[in-house]
């Protein structure tokens, strides 16, 4: 499915959500990607969005954008419950798709989305900006090189305060909740390091007034003995960190989408088993996550899967299956086997 086209990858934006603003602002300096069109059922909002970010084309519907021959790919930042429908329709129109996380509301939707992409000969990928960050690439490199020995334990967490009941993240009909919004990040991080889906999960949630989970914690069990823990919350101070312990050392790091002075891209490595083990702090390049991700998406479309730093289809399906299992366990109060 590689493309021989030259020039930047021309991306159309579905909607004018806040995250779409962040994406378009981040890719402005890129020579590899350019936001060329935006579509919204609210034409006035789309027009204002286009004017603010210097986008040349405004469409009154998503289907109208799909019909635009000057759009190579689409970015889907819609509410979670709309990801599958509009990604599938974009693929049917021959557009490559960069879809915001979580890819779908459930694993069945995720499978249908990838089937549509394959049937129409386009790429579909799930957007996790941190996966393209130099910080994350360094962590993966260290683990793969055996810097901490055999991985035994992974912990990853992401939380921030959210009290506005009108926020779409609080709406169960839009596939909202802490697990789907914030929890998809630690679940994806664990999948990145573990290299496989868990076999069983046990989860516990605290529920908000609108019916969504506002805090969820889960333990993930793997057939090889690896254990992982994830947590996510709308009820804590902002935090985002991960810890990986092996039998010969450990790694601690953040995995923010955007790194810089506020969130320095540091990787803390401890080699050895004793209290006098060697400590090293590795600072990687600070880079805007949306920019790194978008340029990796360009490389994927132009040159193939070897150039993509994000989640593969198999990883995204594993993430969706894990989220399904965590949701079921927290709802029913019992451990749940992860579907295969």
Q: CA 4 to CA 162: how far, in whole Å?
A: 45
Q: Could you tell me the CA-to-CA distances from 75 to 19, 47, 336 in Å, in that order? A: 11, 17, 33
The DSSP-derived string for 44-86 is HHHHHHHHHHT--EEESSHHHHHT-TT--EEEE-S-GGGHHHH
CA-based nearest residue to 180, from 232, 252, 128? 232
- In total, the chain counts a number of residues equal to 340
Catalytic residue of the set 32, 95, 101, 138? 101
Who contacts 186 (Cβ-Cβ below 8 Å, separation ≥6)?
156, 157, 158, 230, 231, 232, 242
101 given a catalytic annotation: yes
Residues identified as active-site: 101
């Amino acid at each position: 499915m590689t493309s021989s086209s030259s020039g930047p990858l021309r991306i159309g934006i579905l909607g004018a959500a806040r995250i779409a603003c962040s994406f378009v602002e981040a890719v402005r300096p890129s020579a590899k990607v350019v936001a060329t069109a935006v579509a919204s059922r609210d034409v006035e909002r789309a027009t204002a969005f286009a004017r603010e970010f210097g986008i040349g084309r405004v469409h009154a519907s998503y289907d109208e954008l799909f019909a635009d021959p000057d759009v190579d790919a689409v970015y889907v930042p819609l509410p979670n419950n709309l990801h599958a429908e509009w990604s599938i329709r974009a693929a049917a129109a021959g557009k490559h798709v960069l879809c915001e996380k979580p890819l779908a509301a459930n694993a069945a939707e995720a499978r249908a989305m990838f089937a549509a992409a394959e049937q129409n000969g386009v790429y579909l990928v799930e957007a996790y900006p941190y996966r393209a960050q130099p910080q994350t690439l360094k962590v993966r490199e260290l683990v793969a090189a055996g810097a901490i020995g055999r991985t035994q334990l992974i912990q990853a967490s992401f939380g921030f305060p959210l009290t506005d009941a009108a926020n779409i993240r609080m709406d169960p009909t839009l596939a909202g909740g802490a697990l789907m919004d914030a929890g998809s990040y630690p679940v994806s991080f664990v999948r990145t390091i573990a290299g496989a889906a868990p076999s069983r999960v046990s989860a516990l949630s605290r529920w908000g007034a609108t019916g969504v989970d506002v805090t969820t914690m889960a333990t993930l069990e793997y057939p090889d003995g690896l254990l992982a823990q994830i947590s996510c919350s709308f009820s804590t101070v902002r935090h985002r960190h991960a810890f990986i312990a092996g039998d010969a050392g450990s790694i601690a790091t953040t995995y923010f989408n955007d790194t810089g002075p506020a969130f320095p891209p540091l990787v803390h490595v401890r080699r050895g088993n004793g209290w006098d083990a060697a400590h090293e702090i590795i600072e990687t390049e600070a880079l805007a996550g949306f920019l790194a991700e978008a340029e990796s998406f360009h490389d994927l479309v132009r040159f193939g899967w070897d150039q993509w730093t994000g989640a593969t289809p198999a990883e995204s399906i594993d993430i969706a299956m894990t989220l399904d299992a965590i949701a079921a366990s927290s709802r029913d109060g019992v451990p749940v086997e992860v579907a295969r």
